[in-house]
Structure 1
Amino acid sequence: MSQNVAFIGLGIMGLPMAKNLVNAGFTVTGFNRSPKAIDDLVAAGGKGATSIADAVKDADIVITMVPDSPDVQGVVTGEEGVFANAKSGALWIDNSSIRPDVAVALASEAREAGLRPLDAPVSGGEAGAIEGVLSIMVGGDTADFEAAKPVLDAVGKTIVLVGPSGSGQTVKAANQLIVAANIQALSEAVVFLEAYGVDTDAAIKVLGGGLAGSKVLDQKAQKILDREFAPGFRLALHNKDMGIVTSAAREAGVVLPLGALVAQLVTSTVASGDGALDHSGLFRGVQRLAGKVEAPLPA
C-alpha cells in the first residue's frame, strides 16, 4: 500500500490495529500519550511522531482510537489537533466509541476543515484487534466508506456501512447494550450453577452448543470460571458506553428497561473498585449481590 496512515491512540485496541496496518503494507505513523506504545509500534515496523500535528501532516488517512467523547474532541480540535493539521482531502476514521451526537457534530467540523469523516467504532475486544477480525460499524458517505475499505479490511472482518454520520456510533451503542446484558446473564448463570455444585466446565460446554450459545459465552465464560479478569475491554469503558446508551435512548424518547438496569449494575461494579478489570468482571458484581464476595483482586 502506498497510503500513509496516522494512528492516534495506541492502547489495548489501537496498538494491535496499527500493527495490522503495518503488516498489510501501509506506512503507519503513530502517536500516543505513553511513549512506550509508540516504541512498540516502531519495533513492529511503524513510525513514531512527537505530536498529533507531526503524525497527521503527511497522512492520507487519519485514525483516532481514544477512550471517550472528550478525548476525541481533544485530539481533533485546536491548533495542534487533527483538523488544523491534516491535509485537505484526507480521510478521518474515528474508531473510538463516543456519543452519536458528538460524532455528528465532529463530522460537520471535519468537512469544514476539508476532511472526509467516518465514525467507525469497533467490536471484538483485544483478541479481535490482535487477530484483525473486528466488527466495524461505519457511519458516513458511501464514497468515503469505499475509499476507506482497504484500511478497514486490514483490521476487521465484518465491515458494514450502517448510515450517515453518527450511525456507526448508534449501532455501537446497541452492540454494547447487547454485550453487557449477555455478560450479566452469563455471570448470573455461573453464580447459579456454582451454588448447586454443578460441573461448570461441562455446563458451559453444553450451554454453548444450544440456543444459549453466543460469542460472549465463547469468549468470556472461561475468564469467569478462572476468575481471570485481565482487561481486554475495561469495565470502566463499558460503563461509559452504557451511559451513552441510556442518554441516547432518553433523547430519542425510547424506553430500555433491561438496558437501564444493566447500566446500573455495571456502574455498581465499577463503583466497587473493579473498573480496571475486563468487562467479564461484571461477575464480581453478581457475586456481591449474592453475598459471595471473594477476596479483592491484586492491584
Structure 2
Amino acid sequence: MNTTVAFIGLGAMGYRMAAHLPKHFDTVYVWNRNFEKAKQHATEYKTQAVELEQAVQADIIFSCLPTSKDVEELIQTVTIKSGAIWIDCTSGVPESAQKLALELALKNVQFLDAPVSGQTIGAENATLTFMVGGSQTAFQIALPAMQAMGKLIKLVGQSGAGFAVKAVNNMMMAVHLCAAAEGFTTLKAHGVNLNEALDCINASSGKSGVTESVLPQRVFNRSFPLTFALPLLAKDTGIAVDLIRQAKLSAPVIGLTQSLIQNASNLAEPNSDFSTAVKMYESWSKITLD
C-alpha cells in the first residue's frame, strides 16, 4: 500500500509488531530511543530507520512506549504531519488519551488509543487483540494497519475506552494470578500433584488464561521468561483502581489485588516478569510451585 506507516518504540512488543508492517506497506519508518535498535530492525525486516522528526511525517504513526507520560512528552517535541492518524499501543491512562485526542485534533491529527493483548508470542505471530478508543472514521482508515499485526481488532468506545479495557483486562488477569497462586499453594500444602490438578482445573470451571498458560509455561517450569514486566502490571492495576475511584464504585477484590501486585513488584528483582508475583506467595508459605 502507498500509505506510509511509522512505528515508534521498539521494545519487546514493538520490535515484533513493526516487523509485520513491510509485508503490507511499501514505506515503513521505525524509530527508537536507542537508535541502534532501529537500525537493527531495518536490517532485519527491511524497514527504514529514521529520525523521530521524519517518523512523525508518516500517514499512520504507531507508538508503543512504557507509559502515557512518555507518549505525551514525545508528542510535545515534534510537529506531526497534518492529516495523520496516531495510534498509541501503550497500556496507558484513559484521561491521557482524551487529552491527546483533543490537543491533536487542533492540529488536524486524529488519535486512537489502541493497546494490545497477546504478549510477545501474539506480536510474533500477528495475532494480537487491539482494543481501540476513538472515532469510527479514524478507526476505519487505520484498520488495515492494525490488521497487519492483530487478529481481533475492536472499536470499544470513544477516546480513552481502549486504555480502560486494557487496564481492566490486566486487572482481571492479576486477580486470576493471585487466586491461582493461593489455590495451588493450598493444594501443594495438602500433598496434591500440581500438574495433575492443573489438568483437572483446566477442564473445569476454575480455568483461566493464568492456569492455561502462565502456570504451566512460566511458573511450574520455573522459567519466568520476561515478556511483560511486573512493574508494568502494577501500573496497569493502578489505572484500573483509578477508574473504579472515578466512577465512585466499590471493588474490594480489585483493590486488594492491586495492593498485592504492587507489593510483589516492590519485592521483586529488577526486570522481573509479571509471573514472578507468585514468588511473593512462595516466600510467605515456604512452598514452591513446581
Q: Using structure 2 for the length normalisation, give the TM-score.
A: 0.94
Aligned to 2:220, the other structure's residue is in SS state helix
State how far apart, in whole Å, the 2-side matches of 1:269 and 1:220 are.
16
In structure 1, the residue matched to 2:273 is 278
Q: Percent identity?
A: 33
Aligned to 2:236, the other structure's residue is in SS state helix
State how far apart, in whole Å, the 1-side matches of 2:127 and 2:48 are.
24
In structure 1, the residue matched to 2:46 is 45
In structure 1, the residue matched to 2:2 is 2
State how far apart, in whole Å, the 2-side matches of 1:280 and 1:255 are.
27
Which runs of no fewer than 5 residues in structure 2 stay unpaired? none
Tell me the CA shift for residue 26 of structure 1. Answer: 4.8
In structure 1, the residue matched to 2:31 is 31
State how far apart, in whole Å, the 1-side matches of 2:199 and 2:288 are.
26
Aligned to 2:148, the other structure's residue is in SS state helix
1:203 is matched by which residue type in structure 2? A
1:280 is matched by which residue type in structure 2? S
Q: Are 2:90 and 1:96 equivalent residues in the alignment?
A: yes
Q: Deviations over 1:106-138 (max 9, x none)?
A: 111111111111111111111111111111111
On the 8 A contact 1:235/1:274 being kept in 2, the answer is no
State how far apart, in whole Å, the 1-side matches of 2:204 and 2:35 are.
46
In structure 2, the residue matched to 1:297 is none
RMSD between aligned alpha carbons?
A: 1.6
In structure 1, the residue matched to 2:106 is 112
Q: Which moved more, 1:234-243 or 1:28-37?
A: 28-37
State how far apart, in whole Å, the 2-side matches of 1:157 and 1:109 are.
30
In structure 2, the residue matched to 1:158 is 152
1:252–1:202 CA distance, 2 compared to 1 (3 A): same
On the 8 A contact 2:93/2:239 being kept in 1, the answer is yes
1:192–1:36 CA distance, 2 compared to 1 (3 A): farther
Count matched residues.
Answer: 287
On the 8 A contact 2:15/2:41 being kept in 1, the answer is yes
2:65 is matched by which residue type in structure 1? V
State how far apart, in whole Å, the 2-side matches of 1:187 and 1:29 are.
42
Which runs of no fewer than 5 residues in structure 1 stay unpaired? 295-299
In structure 1, the residue matched to 2:161 is 167
Q: Are 2:170 and 1:176 equivalent residues in the alignment?
A: yes
Superposed, 1:10-159 pairs within 5 Å as 10-42=10-42, 43-50=44-51, 52-57=52-57, 59-78=58-77, 81=78, 84=79, 86-159=80-153
2:284 is matched by which residue type in structure 1? L
State how far apart, in whole Å, the 1-side matches of 2:69 and 2:30 are.
20
State how far apart, in whole Å, the 2-side matches of 1:256 and 1:276 are.
30
Tell me the CA shift for residue 293 of structure 1. Answer: 7.4
Aligned to 1:254, the other structure's residue is in SS state coil
On the 8 A contact 1:177/1:242 being kept in 2, the answer is yes
Aligned to 1:110, the other structure's residue is in SS state helix
1:213–1:36 CA distance, 2 compared to 1 (3 A): farther
Q: Which moved more, 1:195-204 or 1:257-266?
A: 195-204
Aligned to 1:144, the other structure's residue is in SS state helix
On the 8 A contact 2:91/2:166 being kept in 1, the answer is yes
Aligned to 2:20, the other structure's residue is in SS state helix
Runs of 4+ in 1 over 3 A off after TM superposition: 291-294
In structure 2, the residue matched to 1:213 is 207
Q: Using structure 1 for the length normalisation, give the TM-score.
A: 0.91
